[in-house]
Structures are given as structure tokens and as C-alpha cells.
Amino acid sequence: MKRSEKASRIHKMLVELYPETPVPLDHSDPFTLLVAVLLSAQTTDKKVNEISPELFAAAGTPSSMASLTVEQLKHLIRQIGLSNTKAKNLYKLCRLLLDNHDGQVPQTFAELEALPGVGHKTASVVMSQAFGVPAFPVDTHIHRLAARWGLSDGKNVEKTERDLKALFPRESWNDLHLQIIFFGREYCPARYHDLTGCPICSWTATKKRIAEEAKMNEPKKRTKR
């Protein structure tokens, strides 16, 4: 089956499974979304949603967040990974928003990616979910599923993003990014996944891929001493 045929069938399945695509990170405006996405690096959306109410109650705007010290910010986000680095980035980010953007979240990729702690994936999420600009944020999870499904042979997320954008209609990118994430969480975990029983992997993954992942999931034999 050609990649384009796989993509069309997968798209139809995902739309049927997930007709609604709420953003998993709790937020109320572009700024709180930007902060939540930045905080979600190397931690779960669930954990970010657990700490964000206290954070946004204390500092829900660039000016109020910039009025706190880095140590205060670190305390507010202490339960998530890389809290020290993230606190420093949040403080610098808010200062730049106030100094260069009148306290507003910029609406271009270049300006977003110039902010501390904001990479292309974070910028893509904000552009797509806050401003409705077609984008296809690719994290490690989407990168893995695209490889399993034979939609990309990219060795990095940048190549996978280009491949997925070429396969799916531009107007579907914003929803599709979330639909793939929802599917991955429900059906297609990273580890101990039986590809033969998955609604999509079962017919998209190559025999080689299925065998490789099955071997990876085998319990390691103990060596005799």
C-alpha cells in the first residue's frame, strides 16, 4: 500500500475516533498555553495541569510572572522536571514579551522561536492551537507512530514533520496532530505494544517492524554466573 493510501485511511479512522480535539493542556489564552507547552517538555500533560492552577493564580500574565523571582517561579513549578531551567526560561521569556512585544504572545514562528525555552515544536503548538495557523507539531510520540505506520522514514522530527505535511491536507494538520496523540495514548504506547493487535499498526507496520518491536519487548534472559 502506498504512503498516500495509508495516510488517507488513517486520517478517516482518526476523524471517526476523535471528532473533537480539545487541547490536552489547560489554558485560558495564548500566554497560558505558551507557558503550559513550555512546561510540558520531558514531563506529562497531566502533571502540568496539576501544577498550572496555582502557577496561573499567582502569575497568569507576562507582567505578573515577570514580577516574581526565578526562585519563586521554581517553587511554583517544583513538581515538574527541569524546574530550575524552566523557571529561568519563563522569567526571561516574560521580560522579552514585555520589552519587545507589548506583553503579547507574538504570532510568527520566528518571533516565538526566538523566545527562551521555545523550540519549533512549542511554537507550532501555539501557532496552531492559539492562533489557528496550520502547523503540524511533531514530538517524539508522533515521530514514533509515523515510523510504525510507514508514513515516514525520517531519522529526526524535522524530516517526519515534512513527510506528514506532504501526506495530509493542510486544513487537517491542527486537528490531526492532536488525533494522533490521542490515538497513541489510547492504543499505541511506546513500550510493550503488540503491533499485531493495534487498530492501525496491525495493517500499516511492515513485518520487519513488527518483528523488531516484538523482539524488543521480549523479557531479557538472565545470564548464569
**Burial of 124 from C-beta contacts in 10 A (0-12 / 13-18 / 19+):** buried
What are 121-147's pLDDT values in tens digits? 999 999 999 999 999 999 888 999 999
> For position 1, what pLDDT does the model report?
84
> For position 213, what pLDDT does the model report?
86
Between 102 and 81, the higher pLDDT residue: 102
> For position 218, what pLDDT does the model report?
74
| Domain layout of the chain by residue ranges | 3-20+137-217, 30-129
Quick one: CA dihedral 135, 139, 145, 150, positive or negative?
positive
Q: Do 140 and 175 touch, CB atoms closer than 8 A?
A: no
pTM for the model stands at 0.89
Q: Tell me, which fold does domain 30-129 have in CATH?
A: Endonuclease III; domain 1 (1.10.340)
Computed over every residue of the chain, the mean pLDDT equals 93
> For position 220, what pLDDT does the model report?
59
| % of the chain beyond a pLDDT of 90 | 85
> For position 89, what pLDDT does the model report?
97
> For position 216, what pLDDT does the model report?
80
Output DSSP code: residue 225: -
Rounded-to-integer distance, Cα 219 and Cα 225, Å: 18
Judged against a pLDDT cut of 80, whether residue 212 lies above it is answered with yes
Rounded-to-integer distance, Cα 76 and Cα 64, Å: 13
Rounded-to-integer distance, Cα 171 and Cα 176, Å: 9
> For position 123, what pLDDT does the model report?
96
- Fold agreement between 3-20+137-217 and 30-129: no
Q: Looking at the domain covering 3-20+137-217, what would its CATH class be?
A: mainly alpha
> For position 219, what pLDDT does the model report?
65
pLDDT confidence bin for 81, thresholds 50/70/90: confident
Amino acid at 187: Y
Judged against a pLDDT cut of 70, whether residue 221 lies above it is answered with no
> For position 224, what pLDDT does the model report?
52
Catalytic amino acids? 121, 139
